[in-house]
Every structure is written in structure tokens, then in C-alpha cells.
């Protein structure tokens, strides 16, 4: 039986066609978002999309006494200039997996742009180095605490006073290019 114009059957077909098109658009949109995150993972630069498509980049630097040693001085944790010039480090977190130890009164600090800009120099017998877990860092998502790089930089551990004998930690830094 042929369908007449304005019948209940043509209304049903119109609604069905609209829903099929809407589902197709939804699948295409989801695929575009999925492709963006897959591409970000391939570049080893995970992003968190924000307003206007500007997103944070994440730098993960790790220290292990067994790998990096612990002599007094500065140890580049990544061995490369992993944070680019004009990067605004807005915040992050320090995670101590194994407390730092020393036979003397060692101090430790983390820096990117300048001395003590990520974690202030502190005795490893105290906060934040003496216990395991998540620790705060200086950049705390405020304008006053953010760190702006003037050149490409590495994340560095600065050991003072005495050599380290053990310890494992990593630091995550969230930054945006300005």
C-alpha cells in the first residue's frame, strides 16, 4: 500500500531518518574526539582539553637512587630539555615512593627554571622527603606561584650537604605554552 503525504507512516519515517542522521553525527563527533586523544598519546604529550582547545601538557620526571645515584650536586631527572621555552608551569604533585635517606644531613630540592622553584631545599629527614605519599609543590595553580620558563628546561634534583643512599620519587608538572 503506498504511503500518503501527511499520513502517520510518513511521520514515522521522517522521525526515523532524523534519528539516524543524529546518531551518525554523534558517532562522527565521538570518533573525532577519540582520534585527538589517540594522536596525543602517540606524541607522548597527553593533553587535557580546556576552553578554546587550549590544554595542559604533563611532564613526568622520576628519580631512583638505583638508576640516578645520589652524589651531592644537580641531577637532571629526564636527561633532556623536556619542558619547552615559554611554558607556564601552573601546578603539579610530588609522589614519594621510597623516602630519601643519607648517612649525613642531606638536603634535596627540585627546580626547573631556577633554584627552589618546584620544591624548596629541605632536609631529607623532614617534609616532604622523609615519608611516602603525595606531596604539594610550590606551583599551586595560582598566578603568584606559577613558574614561567625562559628557555627549554629539564626537571632537576639538587642534592646538598651529603650524598643520598636511597630513595624513589616522581613529580608531575602541569603546564601550558604561552
Delimit the domains of the chain by residue range.
1-44, 55-177
Give me the pLDDT at residue 127, please. 96
Give me the pLDDT at residue 57, please. 92
Give me the pLDDT at residue 80, please. 76
Give me the pLDDT at residue 101, please. 97
Q: Which fold has domain 55-177?
A: Jelly Rolls (2.60.120)
Number of Cα atoms under 13 Å in the Cβ half of residue 70? 22
Number of Cα atoms under 13 Å in the Cβ half of residue 93? 7
In which region does residue 42 sit, left (phi positive, over 0), alpha (psi from -120 to 50) or beta (all else)? alpha
How far is the C-alpha of 178 from the C-alpha of 163, rounded, in Å?
38
Give me the pLDDT at residue 40, please. 47
CB 99 within 8 A of CB 129: yes
Closest CA to 128 of 70, 71, 170: 170
Q: What is the mean pLDDT of each run of 10 residues along the chain (178 residues)?
A: 54 51 51 51 44 75 96 91 92 98 97 97 97 98 96 96 97 94
**What are the two backbone dihedrals, phi and then psi, of residue 44, each rounded to the nearest 5 degrees?**
55, 30
Amino acid at each position: 500500500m503506498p504511503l500518503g503525504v501527511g499520513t502517520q507512516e510518513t511521520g514515522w519515517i521522517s522521525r526515523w531518518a532524523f534519528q539516524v542522521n543524529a546518531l551518525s553525527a554523534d558517532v562522527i563527533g565521538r570518533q573525532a574526539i577519540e582520534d585527538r586523544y589517540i594522536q596525543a598519546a602517540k606524541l607522548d604529550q597527553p593533553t587535557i582539553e580546556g576552553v578554546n582547545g587550549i590544554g595542559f601538557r604533563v611532564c613526568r620526571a622520576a628519580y631512583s637512587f638505583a638508576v640516578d645515584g645520589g652524589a651531592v650536586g644537580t641531577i637532571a631527572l629526564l636527561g633532556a630539555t623536556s619542558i619547552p621555552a615559554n611554558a607556564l608551569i601552573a601546578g603539579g604533585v610530588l609522589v614519594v615512593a621510597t623516602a630519601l635517606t643519607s648517612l649525613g644531613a642531606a638536603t634535596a630540592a627540585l627546580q626547573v627554571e631556577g633554584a627552589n622553584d618546584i620544591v624548596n631545599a629541605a632536609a631529607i629527614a623532614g617534609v616532604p622527603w622523609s615519608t611516602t605519599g603525595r606531596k604539594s609543590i610550590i606551583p599551586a595553580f595560582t598566578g603568584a606561584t606559577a613558574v614561567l620558563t625562559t628557555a627549554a628546561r629539564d626537571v632537576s634534583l639538587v642534592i646538598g650537604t651529603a650524598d643520598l643512599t636511597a630513595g624513589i620519587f616522581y613529580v608531575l608538572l602541569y603546564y601550558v605554552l604561552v
